[in-house]
Structure 1
Amino acid sequence: MKNTDFTLCLNPNPTPFSSSLSTQIKSASISKTKENPFSSSPSFIYVSIFSLSIFLNSVVSIFDAFSSKDRVGTVLQLQVLSLALLFLLYSALGLLNNKKGSYFWPDPVLELVLLLAFVEEFLLYYLQRKDTSGIENRYFDLLCVPIAICVVSTMLELRSNRSIYSKSVRGIGLILHGTWFVQMGFSFYTNLMVHGCSLHEKSRGNYTIKCRSHPDYHRARSIATLQFNCHLALLVVLVVGMLSLIGKRNGVVVGASGDGLRYKPLGAEIQLMDSNGWEFHFGFR
């Protein structure tokens, strides 16, 4: 009898209660992830599309560098390939989480992959110095600002996953990141380039922007800083306007944790109270 009890202790059979409990925990975790608007399937699909496009563009640039016998261009595009693969991994894990019946990856794992991708992107543009006098270096330095915002917000999200503020800050950083990328495209490849400067390409992915004289270099760097300040000012105006509209429509949550009372401006009720106060004042006199 004792041997039988000892065998049962070593090889316990799973009870229906334990299996149902684990199923409930897994389903609750998956539903919690799906309820998060920042971790929805469309967002992961967008990330995968952009990452795949960057990956394909880098592959084409690598073949162009091989045909042009540009070793520097090949190495640069290999770095971009690794960066695109990290973002693809992040989107793939997120899509697996949102798929029914698939293995559930914890949110810290996803955020860690995303953090590694942002850190690699920051180092890529911060350390990229093919030509120390090139104007593109100024644009790359300014691009590090929104990337640093994404890095810090993702680190904060790893610490407190339930906080919506870190996700909002990362969204603002991504907006500035995207608008500055568009500005770089116009400033590098169109007629909007600074007067007195021109684009010199060794291959499709290895280029530099050179100017004719030293004053032209100073003017080009100053214009790049002015453009970034305009993008930043426009973003601040848009964010403040959106927050004011959201606060006017939904009210403001009182409390640091977001579980407090929801305060909403009274509007016409304040005017009614003011008018009643004046009537009471004059009636008392």
Structure 2
Amino acid sequence: MGSLATHFSAFLFLFPLGVRRLVCAFSLYLRSPPHYQSRTWYISEPKWKNLDLYVLCVTLPLAAFSEVFWFLTFNGQGAYRFSFFQEAAVILLFWLIVLIVLIRENLDVPFFHENVLFLFAGVAFLVDCATLGKDAGSGLAGRSYQILAGLSLVCSASCLLLSYQPRAFVAEFALSAGLVLKGTWFLQSGLSLFSSGFLPSGCHRAGGLNGSVKCELEEDGLRGMAIIDLLFVGHALGVLILSVAMFGMISRKHDSRFTAGGLSLGERESEAMLMHPLPTFELE
């Protein structure tokens, strides 16, 4: 799976993307919960606020081409070499989604409906899950990559559900939080597998591109597995706390706007019960 640098790069891709989706989804949901609808990308106005989307459009193909370069130049085992090609294919799938979003928003050409894009994203995450699961192996590296594969499966299931029911806020939360957790776990896996300072006592790196770690005693291996599981629980709790804190801050911000506009809490609740149609909300 590469090195600490590649894991850190994956963190830089996924963590900001997940946090952005959480912020945008929370903000849109709090404006009108009954009329909330998830989107493949939350476009902001003015256009320059979508800079991260343009950055992904440039960096994702560069990352894919670098994987292809390693595929063509790597002289090691065939299984490791083919994994570079698989990772390049997965990255290109996500780049294609970003490209379609850009074409839709800038040229106003609705080639793909939101539901179709979510379905495409679900398939891409499913391919990513299969790739990570195949390269998992055994030991500490296997456990780390199995967790990453499981997170990809959660994101895939969320996208598939959103393709059928885009108003499912729980699925949107699972997708966004899954991206954040996947990003932080990529960073943790890189530190745990490719940095000697984070290896459990009694274990050492065995070489190879998949971060293989060998432990001298069975007890050391079991302790290492327990540490990996404990770290993941810590990451999951951290992402959950971050999500709750973000939801609370955004909710307070929306409440202060309503208060400044002279609308009381009781009036807001009464208005929310009225069933007249509302226009589609856009992010500010």
TM score, norm. by length of structure 1: 0.67
How far apart are the structure 1 equivalents of 2:226 and 2:56? 33
Question: What letter is aligned with 1:65?
Answer: F
Q: Are the counterparts in 2 of residues 154 and 170 from structure 1 also a CA contact under 8 Å?
A: yes
Change in 2 beyond 3 A, CA 1:179/1:50: farther
Q: Are the counterparts in 2 of residues 48 and 88 from structure 1 also a CA contact under 8 Å?
A: yes
Q: Are the counterparts in 1 of residues 193 and 211 from structure 2 also a CA contact under 8 Å?
A: no
Question: What letter is aligned with 1:211?
Answer: C
Partner residue, 1:175: 180
Partner residue, 2:16: none
Change in 2 beyond 3 A, CA 1:54/1:213: farther
Q: Are the counterparts in 2 of residues 48 and 87 from structure 1 also a CA contact under 8 Å?
A: no
Match of residue 116, structure 1, among 119, 123, 145:
123
How far apart are the structure 1 equivalents of 2:79 and 2:69? 15
Q: Are the counterparts in 2 of residues 86 and 117 from structure 1 also a CA contact under 8 Å?
A: yes
TM score, norm. by length of structure 2: 0.67
Which residues of 2 match residues 195-234 of structure 1 at below 5 A? Answer: 195-202=201-208, 205-234=209-238
Match of residue 41, structure 2, among 16, 38, 41:
38
**Structure 2 residue ranges without an equivalent (≥5):** 1-37, 44-49, 259-264, 275-284
- SS across alignment from 2:239: helix
RMSD in angstroms over aligned alpha carbons? 2.9
Q: Are the counterparts in 2 of residues 201 and 208 from structure 1 also a CA contact under 8 Å?
A: yes
How far apart are the structure 1 equivalents of 2:169 and 2:104? 20
Structure 1 residue 127, shift from structure 2 partner? 3.2
Partner residue, 1:73: 80
Once structures 1 and 2 are overlaid, which stretch shifts more, 216-225 or 37-46? 37-46
Q: Are the counterparts in 2 of residues 47 and 87 from structure 1 also a CA contact under 8 Å?
A: no
Tell whether 2:91 aligns with 1:88: no
How far apart are the structure 1 equivalents of 2:71 and 2:207? 14
Structure 1 residue 228, shift from structure 2 partner? 0.5
Question: What letter is aligned with 2:162?
Answer: E
Percent identical pairs in the alignment equals 21
Change in 2 beyond 3 A, CA 1:201/1:166: same
Partner residue, 1:159: 164
CA displacement, residues 96-144 of structure 1 (integer Å, 9 cap, x when unaligned): 11112546322122112211110011112223344x3x31001012223
- SS across alignment from 2:199: coil
Which residues of 2 match residues 199-278 of structure 1 at below 5 A? Answer: 199-202=205-208, 205-251=209-255, 260-261=272-273
Give the aligned length: 218
How far apart are the structure 1 equivalents of 2:140 and 2:80? 18
Change in 2 beyond 3 A, CA 1:261/1:179: farther
**Structure 1 residue ranges without an equivalent (≥5):** 1-34, 263-285
How far apart are the structure 2 equivalents of 1:246 and 1:104? 33
Structure 1 residue 175, shift from structure 2 partner? 0.3
- SS across alignment from 2:205: strand
Question: What letter is aligned with 1:220?
Answer: G
- SS across alignment from 1:135: helix
Q: Are the counterparts in 2 of residues 87 and 114 from structure 1 also a CA contact under 8 Å?
A: yes
How far apart are the structure 2 equivalents of 1:216 and 1:93? 48
Once structures 1 and 2 are overlaid, which stretch shifts more, 175-184 or 232-241? 232-241
